[in-house]
């Protein structure tokens, strides 16, 4: 497991260098991690308030697109502001999906079997390296995800 973690961290560094060479830039207060730009908000809000805040600045609560991005996000949180952060995961029809899409939150990332309920939302815990669920009304810090700009043409990529 330790070797896999090191490989994922190195892959994230290589991807960041490629993005830098291609002129990828993120918005103010956003950090390029893996394949997207993220903002780690330290204010605590309910999941719906967090989503509204992210939307107001042209982003959304973060979904996580793969093991490498998950590892890089958790590494960034642990290096800066360890703790728990809302993501875009939501309980819908007895399962957990990213931001109301049909893409399920991977079961292998969960800290336990999730309880079902539309009032439940998913957060990431940097201490356990897992995703957990809590009532959406519970105040937590949160992660916004935003498009990045590619090169001098100003092309937005998500």
Q: Chunked in runs of 10, what are the mean pLDDT values of the chain (158 residues)?
A: 57 54 76 89 97 95 90 93 95 81 86 79 94 95 85 49
Residue showing tokens 């291609």: 22
Q: Which two tokens stand for residue 31?
A: 């950090």
Phi and psi at 118, nearest 5°, equal: -70, -10
Q: What is the pLDDT of residue 96?
A: 86
Q: What is the DSSP letter of 147?
A: -
Q: Residue 2 has what pLDDT?
A: 62
Q: Which residue has the tokens 């207060």?
A: 29
SS3 at position 59: coil
- Separation of alpha carbons 78 and 69, rounded Å: 14
Question: Are 26 and 37 spatial neighbours (Cβ–Cβ below 8 Å)?
Answer: yes
Can you list the positions of beta strands (E) in 36-119?
36-45, 60-61, 84-92, 95-98
Looking at residue 13, what is its pLDDT? 59
Report which of 141, 117, 139, 121 is spatially closest to residue 131, judged by C-alpha positions. Answer: 121
**C-beta of residue 90 within 8 angstroms of C-beta of residue 106:** no
User: pLDDT at position 149, please?
Assistant: 65
pLDDT at residue 34, rounded to an integer: 79
pLDDT at 110: 85
**CATH architecture of the domain covering 2-157:** Roll (3.10)
- For residues 85 and 54, give the distance between their C-alpha atoms in angstroms, rounded to a whole number: 13
User: Helices (H), strands (E): how many in the chain?
Assistant: 3, 11
Q: Are 24 and 33 in contact (CB under 8 A)?
A: no
The reported pLDDT for the residue numbered 155 is 46
Q: Is 109 left (phi over 0), alpha (psi -120 to 50) or beta?
A: alpha
């Amino acid at each position: 497991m330790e070797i896999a973690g090191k490989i994922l961290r190195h892959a994230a560094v290589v991807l960041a260098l490629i993005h830098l060479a291609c002129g990828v830039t993120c918005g103010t207060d956003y950090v390029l991690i893996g394949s997207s730009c993220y903002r780690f908000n330290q204010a605590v809000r309910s999941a719906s308030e967090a989503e509204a805040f992210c939307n107001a600045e042209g982003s959304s609560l973060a979904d996580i697109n793969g093991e490498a991005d998950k590892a890089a996000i958790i590494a960034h949180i642990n290096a800066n502001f360890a703790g728990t952060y809302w993501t875009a995961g939501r309980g819908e029809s007895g399962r957990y999906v990213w931001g109301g899409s049909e893409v399920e939150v991977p079961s292998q990332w969960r800290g336990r079997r999730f309880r079902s309920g539309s009032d439940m939302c998913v957060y990431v815990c940097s201490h356990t390296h897992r995703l957990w669920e809590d009532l959406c009304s519970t105040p937590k810090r949160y992660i916004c995800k935003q498009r990045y700009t590619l090169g001098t043409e100003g092309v937005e990529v998500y």
